[in-house]
Amino acid sequence: MPTFDDALRACPLIAILRGVRPDEVLEIGAALVDAGFTIIEVPMNSPEPLRSIRLLQDRFGRQALIGAGTVLSEAAVAQVADAGGG
């Protein structure tokens, strides 16, 4: 997994998958990684965000940083970490 600084230098853009469902996330993630994206965010107000984060982390975690946005509590931080998000 790249560091945040290395990932941002490699591609100074962050893909935000707002509203993307878990059944869509791997196809979209593949297109983003193939296009050179190295940071992918799943907002916590998206459908089943923790499942999407886990799917992305399992498939693309060596190529990209997978994280969450719209994280509003310490409990949510722990949930994201448990799902594999960074």
Residues 6+ apart with CB under 8 A from 53: 42, 66, 67, 68, 80, 83, 84, 85
Cβ distance 55 to 25 under 8 Å? yes
pLDDT of residue 3: 87
pLDDT of residue 49: 97
Domain ranges of the chain: 4-82
The DSSP code for 83 is T
pLDDT tens for the chain, residues 1 to 86: 678 999 999 999 999 999 999 999 999 999 999 999 999 999 999 999 999 999 999 999 999 999 999 999 999 999 999 999 87
Q: Domain 4-82 belongs to what architecture?
A: Alpha-Beta Barrel (3.20)
Residue type, 73: S
Residue type, 31: A
Place of tokens 């448990």: 82
